[in-house]
Structure 1
Amino acid sequence: MTAAAPAAASRIAVVTGASSGIGAATARQLAAAGYRVVLTARRKDRIEALAAEISDAGHQAAAYALDITDRAAVDEFATAFKTIGVLVNNAGGALGADPVATGDPAEWRQMYETNVIGTLNVTQALLPALTASGDGTVVVLSSTAGFATYEGGAGYVAAKHAEHVLAETLRLEIVGTPVRVIEVAPGMVKTEEFALTRFGGDKEKAEKVYQGVAQPLSADDVADTITWAVTRPSHVNIDLLVVRPRAQASNTKVHREL
């Protein structure tokens, strides 16, 4: 099955959390697939540099600084669009690896606000424009953490379980409209910031996450998966796609060459 070129009405793709990692890689790949990408993130300088890079490569890109947990800002952002074709809810992340008994409620709240409420904010605000395109796609980037727990991960796992349920419920509620809901759930992905952010900038702890794993997934691997799912013919909905490196059998079973 070949990739579908975006129709004129659905040529705009909004990517949240596009300043680095999977979001930036997805923006590059969707642009190469023919979409005009709109990059959103809090770090204005990063997304402006990426938009310039994509434009220099002969594609269309625009940057818009946005905190997805700020509903008023999200609603204002949405007024710029009558129609869009794709929304990639990528912004999120993990904080800490403490057990439930000593976990920081502030970190739990922040993870929930970003991964769940942020996804809800942007999806609600842009759903009318996605519907108006006549061929819209909502992508929710969740995680294998949304399906199985692991010690020290309860806060992130809880948030990703909620994000999975958001995607699953939305698909039920809007069936019959011209909008697909795709969930992509990556396992172990090595990016420049995910583990480093989780451990508060502690490089040693961040590196231990991937220690002995010859080939964890890369941001480009996940972006390729997202782009493939988005570019299926519009009647094809990839409800859920779980993607892991070969070395990872589950969240707690990883082959390490030590």
Structure 2
Amino acid sequence: MSAEEPLDRIVLRYLQKRGYKDAEKAFLKESKSQKLTEMALVPHLGPDAAISDHILYYNEEDADPNSLVQGYRLLRDWVNHSLDMYKPELMRVLWPMFVYCHLELVNRDEGHVAREFHRRFGPDHLLLHEEDVRALAGVAAPAHAESDATARKFRDNRIPISCCQYTFDLLVKYLHHANQMALLAVLNAHISVTVVKGDPAPHTDEAELSAKQVITGVGPPSRIDKFNAKYDQGRWGVLEDSVEVLALDEFEEEKLREERRAAGAKSDGAEGGEEGGEE
């Protein structure tokens, strides 16, 4: 990237590459934006963070802090009602989203909203992150974020998570189609996602979290029940063009193809053995 290239062009290329059509139009219309270098929530992350933040705050004068709270609530609800095979991996994103939504509210000097956000959603994460949750409860003003060791730890580092390609695609498509620009910015700027090969698999911590019913207070329904509920009622869990269903079908079809190939190879081997015996 050229040092002389205007940052507005960089932003436009970023929006076009990611397919954020609505944000691109809004950016083009916006004439009172701050400079991107002045808008970075995490200055040390450089231009990428500034670009992400601009997606969220292209019109900061009209920004509503409650959009972060509402966005997190919708994401939490979507994850909690996602298909059983993807839910354990999707749950991993809720902790970093909680952390950085809280810290962003604090950075915007919305202490009252930050406290209410923490009171409402903090208990979800006590099982796995009790020490950090309790520390963040005391961070409610920009000065606190500067002096608190826990806040600095999260400010200076991205939280790592891992998931399979199917899960990552579902997450990004949900955030995009639900117009969750605030959380897309958080994902891009503050979460380090490692996409691993293979099938979605439950992690011990996530399985324990689900078993203890921390988020919902009810046991997880079966995959069939969840699919029927989503398909009939049009819940948030089903994305545009039934992304989850298509991904599930593709996943299971690939499994079936592998089983058929294995069965064919086994059959060919058995026939070869019989011919050898006849000779």
More helix by share: 2
Question: Larger radius of gyration, structure 1 or 2?
Answer: 2
Tell me if both proteins adopt one fold, taking TM over 0.5 as the criterion.
no
Q: TM-score, normalised by structure 1?
A: 0.27
- Looking at secondary structure, tell me which structure has more strand per residue: 1
